[in-house]
A and B are shown apart, each in its own frame.
Chain A
Amino acid sequence: MAFAARLIPWKYLGLWFGIIIAEIALIFILSFYRNGLQNQIYNLESEISTETENLHTLIKENESLKLLGQYLTIREILNRRKEVSVLIERFAAKMPKTMQLDSLDIDVNKKTMKIAGKFASWQDYVRGAAYFRKDDEFKLVDQDSPVLKNNVVQFTWQINFK
């Protein structure tokens, strides 16, 4: 206390009162300013929400944006589309003459086709399988056990296409 008394003489009492009053005044000013800012934020938030709603309505109703969406969707569909008629024709063109097709199951999304058919002999079967095993466009990736039935070799293959 004696140290404090030396450091802070009582004659500065008025100054400290002044500082405290100034601080209280500052607190009032800051609180007032802060309340003003809070009100401003509240108003801005409600304006932003109204403007955003208007913007969404505008986007939904704007003909140009609708058409842009339509155009981009059409482009996306065309990019993703695989022409199955061309695929079948290309596969038919690659089929060995000795191969007879009984069934065909194409899944465009998985890019796979399952085929079942017949070969007249085991030699034809081996040649056909070797051909599609090496082919890039229609690649033989899996096969069920081939069987000899009624003098023909029956097979089921899974082929991945590009």
Chain B
Amino acid sequence: MKINLTVLSFVLILIAVYLFLYQILPLYKSTLSLAKEVSFKKSQKEKIIQFKTAIENLNQDPIFQELLSNKEKFNSYLPPEPVVEGVISDLLSHYENLRLSQFPGFSYRIKDADFSLPVSLATKPKIVEFNIKDNMSYQILVSLLKLMESNIRLLSIQGLKVNKDERKQILNVDFYFNAYYLE
């Protein structure tokens, strides 16, 4: 009887050790890691809420209020849409100022800008690439480029090909320029 009780107590010890090593310990470890995850998620949520509050209060910041007061100006430099007709209108007025012959028209394509910005969550810069072919004198070409480069809508000349027409003493001009907008 005593031996049987000793065997039983030995079996009970084994069960106790088994329960501790294979049930309680892994459960405890996984509970600890879950508790850590909960605290991480709580702090993550807290940060998002803080960030939201900061963004909501941004409009009251004097620097941003100044930016907001210049909104129209920024939209003229860099509109929120391609507004190709705005570029045509600007070019027509430059042609008129330079007393150039009829505006020959252009081809254009829209592409992504080759640069990104830290505040790109809200906006994405895009490019409208224009190509114009026309004939003009050297002086008129330089004046036209100057007018384009001082245009209110940001335009930047990307490529220029000029060939001299010996017979007509005029330049055959083929140039590419970019206008920008924010998507």
- Are A and B genuine complex partners? yes
B142 with A85: CB separation less than 8 A: yes
**A81 lies within 8 A of chain B by Cβ:** yes
Complex Cα distance, B80 from A60, in Å, reads 13
**A120 lies within 8 A of chain B by Cβ:** no
Interface size on A, residues (CB 8 A): 69
Residues 73-91 of chain B: 1 if any A CB is under 8 Å from the residue's CB, otherwise 0? 0110110000000000000
B123 with A73: CB separation less than 8 A: yes
**B7 lies within 8 A of chain A by Cβ:** yes
State which of A38-46, A128-136, A140-148 sits at the interface with chain B.
A38-46
| Residues in A whose Cβ lies below 8 Å from that of B92 | none
**A123 lies within 8 A of chain B by Cβ:** no
**B111 lies within 8 A of chain A by Cβ:** no
A69 with B52: CB separation less than 8 A: no
Known contacts A10-B6, A24-B19, A55-B51, A70 near B123 by CB under 8 Å = yes
A48 with B44: CB separation less than 8 A: yes
- Taking a contact as CB atoms closer than 8 A, the residue among A44, A47, A60, A82 that contacts B122 in the complex is A60
Complex Cα distance, B74 from A19, in Å, reads 75
What's the minimum C-beta distance from A151 to chain B, rounded to whole angstroms? 16
A85 with B49: CB separation less than 8 A: no
**A127 lies within 8 A of chain B by Cβ:** no
Which chain A residue lies CB-closest to B176? A108
* Residues 9-36 (chain A) with a chain B CB within 8 angstroms: 9-10, 12-13, 16-17, 19-20, 23-24, 26-27, 30-31, 33-34
- Taking a contact as CB atoms closer than 8 A, the residue among A31, A54, A65, A73 that contacts B58 in the complex is A65
Which chain A residue lies CB-closest to B160? A106
What's the minimum C-beta distance from B172 to chain A, rounded to whole angstroms? 9
Q: A55-B51, A65-B121 are in contact. List 10 more A-B contacts (CB 8 A).
A: A5-B10, A8-B13, A23-B20, A23-B23, A44-B42, A68-B67, A70-B77, A71-B74, A78-B154, A105-B161
Residue numbers of B with Cβ under 8 A of A are 2-3, 5-10, 12-13, 15-16, 19-20, 23-24, 27-28, 30-31, 34-35, 37-38, 41-42, 44-45, 48-49, 51-52, 55-56, 58-59, 61, 64, 67-68, 70-71, 74-75, 77-78, 115, 117-123, 125, 141-142, 145-146, 149, 154, 156-164, 180, 182
Residue numbers of A with Cβ under 8 A of B are 1, 4-5, 8-10, 12-13, 16-17, 19-20, 23-24, 26-27, 30-31, 33-34, 37-38, 40-41, 44-45, 47-48, 51-52, 54-56, 58-60, 62-74, 76-78, 80-85, 88-89, 101-109
